[in-house]
Structure 1
Amino acid sequence: MRRLSRPAAIGVGDRVRFAGQVRAVLAVSARAVTLSEEGGSPREVPLAMLLGDDGFEVLSSPVRMPLPPVSLLEALPEHAREKALWWEGHILEVLHGVDPAAGEDAGPRPEYDPALRSLTARERAKAAELTAAGYRVSVSTVGNFRRRYQAEGLLGLADRRPVRKKPQFGTVDDAVVEAMRKAIKEGEDDSTRTGTYVIWRTGEILREEGETAELPSQATLYRLLAKLTQGSPVSGTARNRRSRAHGAKAPFGQWTVFAPGEVVQIDSTPLDVLVRLDDGVVGKVELTGMVDVATRTVTAAVLRPTTKAVDASVLLARTVTPELMRPGWADALRMSRSVLPHRRLLDIDERLEHAAAKPVIVPEMIVCDHGKAFISRNFKASCRFLEIDFQPTHKASPFQKGHVEKMLDSVGTLFAQFVAGYAGRSADHRGRLLDRQPLWSLPELQELLDEWLVAKWQNREHDGLRDPLHPGRSFTPNEKYAALVEACGYVPVALSAEDYIELLPSVWRAVNDYGIRIKRRTYDGPGLIRRQHSGIAEKKGLWEVHHDPYDISRIWVRNHRGDGEWIEATWKHLRHTPVPFGELAWDHAARGLPAGTEAEIADAAAALLTRAHAGPESAEAKPRKRTRRDRQVAARTKAAASVPTPPPAGPDTGSSPAEDDEPLAEVIPLGLFDPLEDPWRRK
């Protein structure tokens, strides 16, 4: 162990150069130093004269006693510490001649005076004194304790047998230890097992490798297992074991951010709330959220039955889109009444006039894990379109995006447990008969979450947002955003309608006389350029089409012949379904009617939703019995509400001769979809 040592000084036994001669130091006092003389009696030289000599030099000095590591004595038993302190007083008297317990003016006793007696003589005197007191101490014992004290300090006088270091794994053979390490390593990514399995697997590994080492007793093996798995027991949850096994081996670093949007993290997790979907289907949903590291602002959060790549892109679109006030929200939630710099931002984007008190943050870097929704081509293309640096973490390293992990966990603690239908984090924490309680629908729960983020999260002091100069002062996400805007001059650029369409999934299709067909659905519009080459030779003249999987009522076609503007086309069977439904319901109905026409498929999908909303039919009608898959498809389809966006109006590029002869049919647009409105109510 490395110890601190005192700087060199004059002490008894040193060899010094004084007055041109090499002399030995026989005694040292506060005013003078006794030096040896060749062929004469010792000479006492005043300390000022000795240090003032031009030729004075310390030639050699014995090893200095290290600074005593007093804190290590606390690990010793009390009787060992008391005995060490008792010995220290006697050894100090042998070394310096004065008992530490004596008064300040007390001088050395004659038998211990360094000027009169040698060190060996002083050790004999101390041994005789202790023997006379009844301790039976020999001269060699005193000498040993004196040398240990000079080498190790007070700790050298203590009996360290109670804390003596022992082999880490006792007498267990090294081959057994290595085999158990391999057994533990094998189970890092497996399901949780008990210690009995690990011990059995340890014996199997020894036999497979041809080792001759014998296994110790069961008790010894369990003690060995406890030592090898300390901090990560094999009986712990699989998630914790994987996290610790694949965690960082180097010290954690500090991710320093100075501006909003500099680093944004995204992740998804199941929300521990039961939701009543359509047709009475009860199930959980997934929460996908993004958090800004600099301000801890939840820039966007969406609830979906299952997270897909398009959800991540829609979440990215919401991040750079102002959060508008909703009907029923308190007026205090307006941005104009918050600490955010509303007037300054209003000059940049007029849409912020009716925005809620949540800042618009444009990410510069997005950190995510390797989930399929986040490493998909669609999400990467969206990041490239917005010039966002896409940075996935290392696999099985959730700590590298700890901010969003903590945010999702906080939503479960601060929000979900107050919601009707809270199911707890596991089956052990789940109540009874939850499905019989009044549960929120998915659109209603999304509305509650959006309002809670604006009202509570953005105005709640965050422990990670503190002033470095005043650590006792913490900030809310809105306050931190306002402070950083003043410091770095951050300017948010909100997403336009054209940009939003760019984030949607794209396919390449031909434009025929009847329009565009996508998955046996036909879309048509007055602005389409029919039976023409798009000019994109790489795609064989096909046209780029963007569509929303959660709203199949319309698509957008890029005008490659013009300036790249968007041409909107609606589904020609839109009248069959008064509400939009997604591709999940369409594909389910298409599999039920493989040979059916497009109109029949549209009627079947609409009828599925009608049955889901109307409930069980009477026994007299004797309808086809609905399967569980029918109910789930209908529920998830209606739950995945589309995000209303104002699409740009495409220019009129002209019409074909046939269209000039016959008047066009009236196109009834779907309009904005309100998830809270009853679509079956007659107007």
Structure 2
Amino acid sequence: MRAQRSGCTCRTGSAPGTDDDDGRCAGLEPGDTVRWHGASYLVAALQGGRVHLSAADEDGEDAVALLSAVVGAPDFAVLDDAGTERPGARIPDVSILSLLTPAELVDVRAWERHLREAEEGLPPGCAPDARPRPEYDPATVSRSQRLASKERELKALGWRKVSVATLDRRLKEYSAQGVAALVKVVAGKLYGNTDERIVALLLQELKDGVEESSGWGTRLHERLQAGLRAAYPEENLRISRTGFYRLLNSLGTRTGSLRGPVRRRREAAGSPEPPWTPTRARMLGEMVQIDSTGLDVLAIGDDGYPVQVELTAAVDVASRSIIGALIVPRAPGRGYKGKRLGGRATTSFDATLMLAQALAPMPARPGWSPLSRAELSDLPYADQVACDPRMAGAAARPVIRPKMVVVDQGKIYQGEHFEDVCTSLGISIRSARDNTGPDKAIVEATFSALKKLFSQYVAAYTARDLARRGKYVAEGPMWRLNELQDLLNEWIALHWQQHRHEGLRSPNLPGVVLTPNQMYAALVACEGYAPLPLSPSQSRKLLLCEWRQVGDKGVRVGNRTYNSAALQAYNKQPSGVRGQGKRWPIRFDPYAPHYVWLFDQRQEQLGKDPWVEAEFIHQDLIDGEWSQYLWQTAEQAFLNAGGPEEHEQRERDIALAVSELRERARRGPLDEAPAARAWRRAGAARRLWRRPGRPFTGPQPAVRPPDPDRYASISVPDPATIVPARSLENPAQFLFPDQDAGPRLSGDAGVLVTAGEPVAVPDTDERPPQNAEPPADPGVDMTTGTGKEPRLVAQRRGSTGGIADLFLSGLPAPADASDPAPPPRAAAGSTDEEDS
């Protein structure tokens, strides 16, 4: 027969497996059924540190084992009469005593002293020879009588809620959990014991409200109450408003977040479950994170009006280097989806240009600080120039070839064009989870630091929202888009790449904080530097592609016609691509749509140039650079004005409109008088409108080979071998003989022509006297003004007169049949008489 189980009065919180005298505090008693190593046993006896097990299965064997080995087995469990596992002993958490105030801790110890006296007869801390009081002596008074005596004593002391039932319940809790059970009696429910169904329903309401508009906590409380009534109509599950806010606080949800921005709740909901691990990369380009964000700065757009800008950047995780950064204007378009015109934001082509920018050194521009150059930085400049000559004169930004890029779920990164370019460059793509910023935490932190260290110091800084924006930001001075891009590039090379980053530390010297350039120099020394220069043919493959058929008038791309003599060779010819018929792949750059290129794959297989260039037929009407954005803006204005539908006339008129738009952008806005555009704030200086320069066309990929150098075959002359030219001693009047204001020499040698009539000049080798005066001529001064006589040089036969004849005067006259052969030319350094 199963032995009677007695209650354990141990309150020390001993863990299972402790070597007690009888094993009861280890969670075992004789007669218990346990599971051990997959079999069922009956605890027959407990003897010191050993336990005698009687096999409950028919094919089992009895065993004697150490108590610690039995209770420490992975599958050990105490079974009830039905064979199910009973809950194990609970170890109370006494650390919550540290959360109590000194007064509350005194009350807890007082409760413990009274309960121990009512249960055992003596309070804790008594002397060894102390005797219990008569009303609490267990030898003479029953337990119920002791509890009744304790009730009368506590009520006499002014305690409330100390009935016999309450004392009995708290005494059982104290016997099971120890002093931790008395904390809620004194300090209330520190951790709370709300019904689990209420907690689950509240968590579900918080999850469903992530995408909803912000609201107050009262709305969530009412929704929770309605959900409880609908889910449990027969039960009275309720939660008070005070308990609701206490529960929210215990769940880590602040009430202020309920009425905060939706973006914050979305980011919090998308955060991964803890524990979080840092993003690691041990090689350059092993992981590159790419993302886009608003730069919080206004700039002057191509139309001369303020426009918001957007930044797309690529950050190398291993070195924290910004290897690519591209600023584009962000403006809403007009029209319905699919037919929207005039809008602008970051596109997949912009992300492709940024990747191409990361593969090439960034040239240092004139006017930059000398410290922003690579030769004066921590980069291994000499070794890089030896490997890649493009690094000569480059900025202090490293060239890192990405091996894997981490992007978000944006359509600009999920498009086919971006994926095809990454595949052709050998770059793998890893997509972050939807609305999960921590998956690319490095680039997000970089954006936050960039706005703090760069954006807020730029003119026309708008802050992150309208509530933080200044009142007259749009009326102050602004940078042009190209100038803003140039400022950012210089800041990256000068500040970011040479500023110490707390995340860059060496495992061998963890106390040393490195800069991105220093970390790059350390890593590139381990793995080497392998540049990837792109030829014009390879760069064209990064451009956007449209499949078009070549006709008599060329091809049409973006409502524009392109044609050339080379393109007509493909007129109505099949491309040889399955499913395309006579359509050919046409590549174009939306930032510079002056030209398009047809790609012939068959010529590439034969080792010939596969690209056929064609120019916009109305390019002569547009004086200067333009972009697809300018074309769409002019096209929208043209359509709104009711322009013709004929393609040829329409293209010509739009081209003229693009040229007019560029001129209007150069002049600046004319919607209000200059005085009205001044600062409206009293005492502020008048604003000077920054007129835009050339249109924003983004970074220019090397899609066209440079023009051949006409002077490449000419060697540089040695200055020691150059013969100096003869000095001209003629008066200024004789430098321009065609003018009537002074004398000149006629076509016949020795004839001086003045404003009046010609005067003969002696044909002799002798020089005129020192003080000889020229023939008299009213209003003509033949002197040089320096005290020297004028030297007259006769023109050669056949000369038309001019300054070039003065240089011919030192050369021999052309040979004539009637003239004798001219003497040999004197060597350099001879006298004037010998030359003449």
| TM-score, normalised with respect to structure 2 | 0.59
Tell me which residue corresponds to 1:162. Answer: 187
How far off is 1:396 after superposition?
Answer: 1.4
Q: Does 1:587 align with 2:587?
A: no
Alpha-carbon contact 2:301-2:481 (below 8 Å) kept: yes
Which stretch of structure 1 is more off in the superposition, 151-160 or 451-460? 151-160
How far off is 1:401 after superposition?
Answer: 0.8
Tell me which residue corresponds to 2:98. Answer: 74
Q: Does 1:239 align with 2:263?
A: yes
Q: Does 1:543 align with 2:596?
A: no
Alpha-carbon contact 1:515-1:525 (below 8 Å) kept: no
Question: What is the CA–CA distance in structure 2 between the aligned matches of 1:168 and 1:70, rounded to whole Å?
Answer: 18
Say which of 475, 491, 497 aligns to 2:530.
491
Tell me which residue corresponds to 1:48. Answer: none
What is the correspondence of 1:650-669 to structure 2 with a 5 Å cutoff?
Answer: none
Tell me which residue corresponds to 1:645. Answer: 702
What is the correspondence of 1:240-255 to structure 2 with a 5 Å cutoff?
Answer: 240-255=264-279
Question: What is the CA–CA distance in structure 2 between the aligned matches of 1:68 and 1:617, rounded to whole Å?
Answer: 79
Say which of 652, 662, 671 aligns to 1:609.
662
Alpha-carbon contact 2:302-2:662 (below 8 Å) kept: no
Q: Does 1:500 align with 2:539?
A: yes
Unmatched runs of 5 consecutive residues or more in structure 2: 1-10, 25-44, 49-65, 70-88, 157-168, 330-344, 673-690, 709-836
Deviation digits for residues 232-284 of structure 1 (CA, Å, limit 9, x no counterpart): 73112101111122322353234331101101111111111111224441121
Say which of 454, 458, 464 aligns to 2:503.
464
How many residue pairs end up in the alignment?
A: 574
State the Cα RMSD in Å: 5.0
Which stretch of structure 1 is more off in the superposition, 2-11 or 321-330? 2-11
Say which of 305, 325, 337 aligns to 2:376.
337
Tell me which residue corresponds to 2:297. Answer: 273
Q: Does 1:230 align with 2:253?
A: yes
Deviation digits for residues 325-373 of structure 1 (CA, Å, limit 9, x no counterpart): 1111222222222211222222321111121111111111111111121
How far off is 1:568 after superposition?
Answer: 3.1
Q: CA 1:200–1:558 in structure 2 vs 1: closer, same or farther (change >3 Å)?
A: same
Question: In structure 1, the residue corresponding to 2:293 is in which secondary structure?
Answer: strand
Deviation digits for residues 520-556 of structure 1 (CA, Å, limit 9, x no counterpart): 3224265774434443344214332211111111122
Q: CA 1:148–1:193 in structure 2 vs 1: closer, same or farther (change >3 Å)?
A: closer
Alpha-carbon contact 1:521-1:571 (below 8 Å) kept: yes
Q: CA 1:153–1:597 in structure 2 vs 1: closer, same or farther (change >3 Å)?
A: closer
Q: Does 1:441 align with 2:480?
A: yes
Say which of 288, 293, 302 aligns to 2:317.
293
Say which of 574, 588, 593 aligns to 1:552.
593
Q: CA 1:636–1:216 in structure 2 vs 1: closer, same or farther (change >3 Å)?
A: farther
Q: CA 1:78–1:527 in structure 2 vs 1: closer, same or farther (change >3 Å)?
A: same
Alpha-carbon contact 1:295-1:465 (below 8 Å) kept: yes
How far off is 1:218 after superposition?
Answer: 7.5
Which stretch of structure 1 is more off in the superposition, 475-484 or 517-526? 517-526
Say which of 202, 206, 210 aligns to 1:188.
210
Alpha-carbon contact 2:299-2:460 (below 8 Å) kept: yes
Q: CA 1:498–1:637 in structure 2 vs 1: closer, same or farther (change >3 Å)?
A: same
Alpha-carbon contact 2:480-2:693 (below 8 Å) kept: no
Deviation digits for residues 594-615 of structure 1 (CA, Å, limit 9, x no counterpart): 3334323322222232233335
The higher-RCO structure (CA 8 Å, 6+ apart) is: 1
Question: In structure 2, the residue corresponding to 1:568 is in which secondary structure?
Answer: strand
Question: What is the CA–CA distance in structure 2 between the aligned matches of 1:69 and 1:585, rounded to whole Å?
Answer: 70
Which stretch of structure 1 is more off in the superposition, 427-436 or 608-617? 608-617
How far off is 1:382 after superposition?
Answer: 0.9
Deviation digits for residues 124-164 of structure 1 (CA, Å, limit 9, x no counterpart): 9xx9xxx9xx999xxxxxxx999999986776898954355
Question: What is the CA–CA distance in structure 1 between the aligned matches of 2:590 and 2:18, rounded to whole Å?
Answer: 81
Tell me which residue corresponds to 1:387. Answer: 426
How far off is 1:561 after superposition?
Answer: 3.6
Question: What is the CA–CA distance in structure 2 between the aligned matches of 1:83 and 1:395, rounded to whole Å?
Answer: 52
Question: What is the CA–CA distance in structure 1 between the aligned matches of 2:68 and 2:630, rounded to whole Å?
Answer: 95
Question: What is the CA–CA distance in structure 2 between the aligned matches of 1:360 and 1:316, rounded to whole Å?
Answer: 11
Question: In structure 2, the residue corresponding to 1:242 is in which secondary structure?
Answer: helix
Q: Does 1:402 align with 2:441?
A: yes
Q: CA 1:430–1:11 in structure 2 vs 1: closer, same or farther (change >3 Å)?
A: same
Q: CA 1:150–1:554 in structure 2 vs 1: closer, same or farther (change >3 Å)?
A: same
| TM-score, normalised with respect to structure 1 | 0.70
Q: CA 1:6–1:245 in structure 2 vs 1: closer, same or farther (change >3 Å)?
A: closer
Alpha-carbon contact 2:547-2:586 (below 8 Å) kept: yes
Alpha-carbon contact 2:562-2:595 (below 8 Å) kept: no
How far off is 1:88 after superposition?
Answer: 9.9
Fraction of identical pairs, as percent: 31
Alpha-carbon contact 1:267-1:290 (below 8 Å) kept: yes
Question: What is the CA–CA distance in structure 1 between the aligned matches of 2:469 and 2:512, rounded to whole Å?
Answer: 38
Question: What is the CA–CA distance in structure 2 between the aligned matches of 1:260 and 1:251, rounded to whole Å?
Answer: 27
What is the correspondence of 1:338-417 to structure 2 with a 5 Å cutoff?
Answer: 338-417=377-456
Alpha-carbon contact 2:563-2:615 (below 8 Å) kept: yes
Question: What is the CA–CA distance in structure 1 between the aligned matches of 2:189 and 2:671, rounded to whole Å?
Answer: 84
Tell me which residue corresponds to 1:600. Answer: 653
How far off is 1:445 after superposition?
Answer: 0.6
Deviation digits for residues 487-546 of structure 1 (CA, Å, limit 9, x no counterpart): 333534344433322111111233445443322322426577443444334421433221
Which stretch of structure 1 is more off in the superposition, 289-298 or 490-499? 490-499
Say which of 410, 421, 445 aligns to 2:460.
421
How far off is 1:109 after superposition?
Answer: 6.2
Question: What is the CA–CA distance in structure 1 between the aligned matches of 2:91 and 2:270, rounded to whole Å?
Answer: 42
How far off is 1:197 after superposition?
Answer: 3.4
Alpha-carbon contact 2:280-2:317 (below 8 Å) kept: no
Q: CA 1:475–1:3 in structure 2 vs 1: closer, same or farther (change >3 Å)?
A: farther
How far off is 1:213 after superposition?
Answer: 6.7
Question: What is the CA–CA distance in structure 1 between the aligned matches of 2:485 and 2:316, rounded to whole Å?
Answer: 20
Question: What is the CA–CA distance in structure 2 between the aligned matches of 1:193 and 1:503, rounded to whole Å?
Answer: 47
Deviation digits for residues 170-219 of structure 1 (CA, Å, limit 9, x no counterpart): 8xx957x6665554433211221223433454566567779467796984
Question: In structure 2, the residue corresponding to 1:269 is in which secondary structure?
Answer: strand
Tell me which residue corresponds to 2:561. Answer: 521
What is the correspondence of 1:36-47 to structure 2 with a 5 Å cutoff?
Answer: none
Question: In structure 1, the residue corresponding to 2:413 is in which secondary structure?
Answer: coil
Q: Does 1:256 align with 2:280?
A: yes
Letter of the structure 1 residue corresponding to residue 207 of structure 2: K
Question: What is the CA–CA distance in structure 2 between the aligned matches of 1:389 and 1:419, rounded to whole Å?
Answer: 36
How far off is 1:562 after superposition?
Answer: 1.9
Deviation digits for residues 286-334 of structure 1 (CA, Å, limit 9, x no counterpart): 1111111111111111111111111111111111111111111222222
Q: CA 1:24–1:251 in structure 2 vs 1: closer, same or farther (change >3 Å)?
A: closer
How far off is 1:386 after superposition?
Answer: 0.7
Q: CA 1:583–1:277 in structure 2 vs 1: closer, same or farther (change >3 Å)?
A: closer
Question: What is the CA–CA distance in structure 2 between the aligned matches of 1:534 and 1:59, rounded to whole Å?
Answer: 82
Question: What is the CA–CA distance in structure 2 between the aligned matches of 1:178 and 1:6, rounded to whole Å?
Answer: 32
Q: CA 1:483–1:201 in structure 2 vs 1: closer, same or farther (change >3 Å)?
A: same
